[in-house]
Amino acid sequence: MHADVAAPDEVLLEPVFWSLFSVGGFITAFLLPVMLFLIFFAAPFHLWPGDPAAYATFLAHWKEPLVRLFFFVLIGGSLFHGTHRLKFMLMDAGFKGPAAEALLDLILNGVAIFGSLGALYYALRGWLF
């Protein structure tokens, strides 16, 4: 088989980051609204008995592994989802070309990766070490 038109090179990382973006889309869509409501709006607008975000309440919940896993998944998912969308918004706004896209990849994927590692660190801290 021969190609009629010279095909450009395959990309290596985009399928990986697209997968993380998609998984992050599910995570943020399903988990973020209820989370934001409980932490940011429930108490200030008096829509909830008590304050789910109060220090003592939250610290007590934070001892459970499931809660820590929840935060790690939510933070990682939202970062990988949002940075991917931001990359394409900026490309659409004219931030294009190999150098610009490499810079975007470096910064935005860096934020997602280091942010997720940070969340993992706090999720494990005081529990495993």
Non-local CB neighbours of 81 within 8 Å, separated by 6+ positions: 20, 21, 24, 25, 27, 28
Q: Is 80 helix (H, G, I), strand (E, B) or coil?
A: helix
- Decide if residue 34 touches other proteins (CB under 8 A): yes
Question: Do residues 42 and 51 make contact, with C-beta atoms less than 8 angstroms apart?
Answer: yes
Residue (of 12, 17, 10) closest to 108 by Cα position: 17
Nearer to other proteins, 26 or 103 (CB): 26
Positions in 67-126 near other proteins (CB under 8 A): 67, 70-71, 74-79, 81-86, 88-89, 91-92, 94, 96, 111-112, 115, 118-119, 122, 125
63 binds other proteins (CB under 8 A): no
SS3 1: coil
The answer to whether residue 128 forms part of the interface with other proteins (CB under 8 A) is no
- Closest distance between other proteins and the C-beta of residue 15, in Å? 4
